[in-house]
Amino acid sequence: MESAASRQSPPGLPVPDLTPAEDQAWSALLFARRWSRGATAPLASATPVPDPLMATEGLIARSEATGWGVPPAATGEVRTLLELYLPLLPRQPMATLTLGHLGQSLDGYIATARGESCYVTGPANIRHLHCLRALADAVLVGAETVAADDPRLTTRLVPGDNPTRVILDPRRRLPVARQVFQDGAAPTLLVCAAGEGLPHRWGQAEVLAVPTAEDGRLRLEALVGELHRRGLRHLFVEGGGLTVSRFLAAGLLDRLHLAVAPLVIGEGRRGLSLPASPALGDCLRPSCRVFRLGADLLFDCETRPDPGEVGARAVTAQRGDNAVGAPVLSRV
Ligand SMILES: NC(=O)c1ccc[n+]([C@@H]2O[C@H](COP(=O)([O-])OP(=O)(O)OC[C@H]3O[C@@H](n4cnc5c(N)ncnc54)[C@H](OP(=O)(O)O)[C@@H]3O)[C@@H](O)[C@H]2O)c1
């Protein structure tokens, strides 16, 4: 029988369903996400937060000292799934997190030269993208991604809410007919360079004016501050390469997920593109965990040296811990 997830898979790309055990772990993660946003009973009431707070079936637990953690009893695919996503949950209800993701070829491209990107990575990473959307308050993309792909940016392949959609289009070059401006599937913000004559709305999207720097680029720290002010604290920068690179260069990414596919594009749209470093010692060499996503490898990189309050760590995740066993997702 066709399942809810596979029914909504992109044409020609059957995305694997969560197994029943993974589905239970995913429910626990969604519970924890709601809790951390203050939408669940212990925080909504005046009652002090229980410590430890246990989520669904005791699959994950939170303590003030260590944040969210995987109990030792969790094994195999469930443990791997929790280890991958638990660091994306805020340690404290008001904590912020900004995560970037790119799916790239072995030679570092995210699309062909003419902008074709469906699909660089395989079905397991496409499902992963939908998981990242479901865990985020807002998903952000650059104008070129909306121009090339006309994406919906909704959560369709796993259970979870649609995040607010934030489109960075400083010069207002995107036509109003794009799906994100028309379908009403989620609140949508069109981010434009502050200036005269901006409309209040573009289709169903609210227009948000953001100041620009001397080089004409949007001041991303101002944008992030405004999103936080609106209660959008967990931001997911989904692409493309220019947009993720600008967040990284501005020091605004806490984590970066790079999914590397066994594919050689040759020449195309670059993934990361940063100002040149004169010496290797000056280059960013983030601490990484590596997961297998079907045929792709996912590098989960900590791109801020001191995450502090940002993002809880998977307290039981150990480097070199080979929880292999699931063909879709496993630790390397
Ligand atoms: N494989 C993947 O993971 C993945 C993910 C997403 C998209 N894609 C593909 O990647 C391609 C698009 O990526 P891309 O790197 O070319 O472009 P992009 O990042 O989608 O969009 C870049 C544009 O967004 C605007 N923008 C972003 N940040 C800005 C800032 N700080 N200040 C001012 N403007 C800003 C600018 O618009 P203006 O040019 O108007 O100034 C900029 O040119 C498409 O082919 C898409 O299919 C692949």
CB neighbour list of residue 74: distance below 8 Å, 6 or more residues apart: 25, 59, 60, 82
Determine the pLDDT at residue 158. Answer: 96
Contact 132, 236 (CB under 8 A): yes
Q: What is the mean pLDDT of residues 205-224?
A: 97
Q: Is the CB of 240 inside a 6 Å radius of any atom of ligand 1?
A: yes
The residue type of 284 is: L
CA of 166 relative to ligand 1 center, distance in Å: 12
Top mutation candidate among 112, 140, 144, 180 for ligand 1, by most atoms within 8 Å of CB = 144
CA 237 to CA 62: how far, in whole Å?
A: 26
Q: pTM for this structure?
A: 0.90
Q: Report the separation in Å between the CA atom of 284 and the middle of ligand 1, taken as the mean of its atom positions.
A: 22
Residue 236 Cα, ligand 1 centroid: separation in angstroms? Answer: 14
Average pLDDT, the chain: 87
Per-residue burial over 16-38, b = 16 or more CB atoms within 10 Å of its CB, e = otherwise? bbbeebbeebbbbbbbbbbbbbe
- Rounded to 5 degrees, φ, ψ at 20 are -55, -40
Ligand 1 proximity of 163 Cβ (cutoff 6 Å): no
* Range with lowest mean pLDDT among 56-65, 144-153, 196-205, 305-314: 305-314
Our answer on whether the CB atom of 241 is closer than 6 Å to any ligand 1 atom is: yes
Contact predicate 236/136, CB 8 Å:
yes
Range with the poorest average pLDDT among 102-106, 146-150, 260-264, 308-312? 308-312
pLDDT above 90 for 72: no
Quick one: average pLDDT of 255-263?
98
Q: Sketch out the chain's domains with CATH numbers.
A: 4-271+284-331 (3.40.430.10)
So what's the pLDDT on residue 50? 54
Each residue's pLDDT tens digit, 135-175: 999 999 999 999 999 999 999 999 999 999 999 999 999 99
